[in-house]
Amino acid sequence: MNIVSDQKSIPGGSLLSPEANAAAAFAAATATANGVLTVDLDAIVANWRKLEKSAVPAECAGVVKADAYGCGAVQVARALHTAGCKTFFVATLDEARTLRETLPSATIYVLDGFFQNTGDAYAKIDARPVIGDLNELAEWDVFCRRSGWAGGAAIHIDTGMNRLGLTLTEAQGIIPRINAGDHGITLVMSHLACAETLNHPLNARQLASFREIASLFSGVPASLANSSGVFLGAQFQFDMVRPGAALYGINPTPEADNPMQPVVELKARIVQIRNLEKGETAGYGCTWTARRPTKLAIVSAGYADGYFRAGGSNDGTRGAEVVVAGKRCPIAGRISMDLVAVDVTDLEKNAARRGHLVTLIGEGITVDELAHHFGTIGYEVLTSLGPRYMRIYKGGEAKTTDEPVAAAADPAPATDATPAAAG
């Protein structure tokens, strides 16, 4: 972690080991933070390279919507682009604008599509809409004819998700236009609904439907596989794969071990230590009762920070766990908006002290494990991590060779410790 790159700037730095220097740098950078989210950009790049290798010869794009799943779109996209990723997917035009300021030459697709009044905005930043409706296609056509813009677009075809996309009949209806040439379509794509379930029958049906319709889009690259779809086999990979969650360490194969590296570590600070007598309760609703003399650490994270209320415990149900001084400790009672109580009774004396940081994600607690306690999925956990956490970026020092576009702000280095408003 290169928060402080000049060893001399750390007192006694020349006498400390690299590990000690890193610890001192981390402590200095986070001294005033109640919570710290560390994002390992090198792990994200390693995950992308693993996915890319699995998909060869298909291109491996990067999905960085929702601020790169809460991890920081600017920092993540810069690291991925430096590693060789050329194509990115975002959800909205605003996300595309942010990305374009960082990566002037990357190909950017916008999943939420095209509206009649958005043509100039697409052209200005050279982004490509993902068109999933015949009305969108007509509006895009009109804009391109009137403006002369030839920036390209993707066609999204619904093969079973029933969310966005042209129907198969509608897609067949535009094939004459594709065969006529000069159509401006740069990608034909669909989206898998059940790819995380290896043998779900819809996977095969969607594959067959997409293979048939995509073959009619002569000369247009095709894309079907999301993160989990990459692991369904080469037949699902076509010309491009579009991983998102797997880049950020979420398990794309929940029926097997996670093949991806963990990416985030989340810590929060102990703000108080409290002692309870047997029979006393803790938290809202008095749902948790001390069964012995108990020591609680009150930690500065809550559901306003994306640490969901559903992870709490009561007298009959065990909740999530937190790592304190290297050991797992259970949550005691309900999680409130800004605070959570953790039972640290079994730790050695003074192992948990006011001001110490404890680990909410990391040290063996995965995003997927936390999602299980929250009754949700890892996607929601990551994208809910709030702006009150200080963001620290580890690795990814090398910058893209692109120059910033005119009038664009020069983004902060990927190794900065910043309270970035992600999530």
* Catalytic residue IDs: 65, 284
Buried-state track 352-390, b at ≥16 Cβ within 10 A, e below 16: beeebbbbbbbeebbbbebbebbeebbbbbbbbbbbbbb
Inter-residue contact 103 to 402 (CB < 8 Å): yes
Distance CA 103, CA 123 (A): 16
3-state secondary structure the chain: CCCCCCHHHCCCHHHCCHHHHHHHHHHHHCCCCCEEEEEEHHHHHHHHHHHHHHHCCCEECEECHHHHHCCCHHHHHHHHHHHCCCEEEECCHHHHHHHHHHCCCCEEEECCCCCCCCHHHHHHHCCEEEECCHHHHHHHHHHHHHHCCCCCEEEEECCCCCCCCECHHHHHHCHHHHHCCCCCEEEEECCCCCCCCCCCHHHHHHHHHHHHHHCCCCCCCEECCCHHHHCCCHHHCCCEECCCHHHHCCCCCCCCCCCCCCCEEEEEEEEEEEEECCCCEECHHHCEECCCCEEEEEECCCHHHCCCHHHCCECCECCCEEEECCEEEEECCCCCCCCEEEECCCCCCCCCCCCCEEEEEECCECHHHHHHHHCCCHHHHHHHCCCCCEEEEECCCCCCCCCCCCCCCCCCCCCCEECCCCC
Distance CA 82, CA 71 (A): 17
